[in-house]
Amino acid sequence: MSKILVVAEVKAGEVRKPTLELLSKIRQEAWTGDAVLIGDGVQKHAGLLAGHGAGKVYVADDESLANFAVDRYTAAVVDAIGQARPDMVWFSASEMGKALGPAVAARLNAPFVSDCAAVEIAGGNVEVRRPAMATKIQQKVRIVRDGLKVITVRSGAFDAQPAEPKPAEAVALAIPEGDGRLVVREVVQEDTGRLDLGDASVIVSVGRGVKGPEGVTFVQPLADELGAAYGASRAVVDSGWMPFELQVGQTGRVVSPDVYFSIGISGAIQHLAGMSGSKLIVAVNKDPDAPIFSVADYGIVGDLFKVVPVLLEEIKKHKS
């Protein structure tokens, strides 16, 4: 049986949903999972990870770890691996996972596969599936080397199952020293006042079809009514109508929500690379030949300025 160490992520004082997705998958498959928690004031989350199936929770909790620093965090994960002796280490394919996964793999001379969308483990064989070439193809990768294997997993690849916190078997890690070459002094984050794209189960995204900032404001009530995160195509971001943090796609965020609304987005391959893993896709576009319809589960051919108010009205009726 495989033992997996999940590297947890905490943001704004909460364990991020992708971490719970990874632990849920391990629990569902009846594999063995531990977790590692790194940060400042993170010890309190150990019970939640235990509730989601982590056997042991390795904790490095110190104010020097408040900001992500790849050298210190790598050292803490390597320490946890030395104690937990897992067969695999799983990171979510977030900005942190993308930085830390390869660093940990390189430090331990372990094979590394990024951005996995499915994982199969049978008799010690590990096979993952991952989109490649801006999702034009799906690769199946078998990791043949014995010993530790390190992967990052796309958010939304697995479902996060609800679980109550329970007392954790917590193991304190030594507080790692940085090598001093890189010091993160401050993290400045634009406050969009909205749900993070990576944590949202519903996302409404807008494209150049909204015509300008007024169009962005016009569609926003749909996102508000659905309690959804609000995203954008690159055309919208490049035009300065929405900030880069909200860009979905190959050079933006990769998301896999339960429902993705695409409003006035053509569906260029680079946009699909960021959202085609969504469980249900609803597209509104006035062009019946728009490529977005090739991935959409529901397509509405029409002028978004007429369709969005109808959608909004219907959703309000449904909720009341």
Ligand X SMILES: Cc1cc2nc3c(=O)[nH]c(=O)nc-3n(C[C@H](O)[C@H](O)[C@H](O)COP(=O)(O)OP(=O)(O)OC[C@H]3O[C@@H](n4cnc5c(N)ncnc54)[C@H](O)[C@@H]3O)c2cc1C
Binding site for ligand X (CB under 6 A): 207-209, 233-236, 247-252, 264-266, 268, 270-271, 274, 284-287, 290, 303-305
Please, which residue, 15 or 268, has the CB nearer to ligand X?
268
- Residue showing the smallest CB distance to ligand X in the complex: 249
Q: Of the two residues 52 and 271, which places its CB atom closer to ligand X in the complex?
A: 271
Q: Shortest gap between Cβ of 260 and ligand X (angstroms)?
A: 13
Inter-residue contact 241 to 232 (CB < 8 Å): yes
Residue 176 carries which side chain, given as an amino acid letter?
P
CB of 250 to ligand X, least distance (A): 4
Q: In the complex with ligand X, which residue's Cβ is closer, 143 or 290?
A: 290
Q: Scan for tokens 């108010």, then name that residue.
A: 309
Q: How far is the CB of 246 from ligand X (least distance, A)?
A: 11
Q: Return the number of the residue (33 or 209) whose C-beta is nearest ligand X.
A: 209
CB of 230 to ligand X, least distance (A): 14
Shortest Å distance, C-beta 225 to ligand X: 19
Work out how close the CB of 130 gets to ligand X at its nearest, in angstroms, rounded to a whole number.
18
Residue placing its CB nearer to ligand X in the complex, 150 or 236: 236
For ligand X, the closer of residues 151 and 255 by Cβ is: 255
What is the DSSP pairing of strand 118-122 with strand 112-116? Answer: unpaired
Q: Quick one: how far is CA 103 from the chain centroid?
A: 19
- To ligand X, the closest distance from the beta carbon of 56 in angstroms equals 38
Using the minimum distance from each CB to ligand X, give the nearer residue, 73 or 230: 230
The neighbour count for residue 203, using CB atoms within 10 Å, is 27
Place of tokens 């695999």: 88
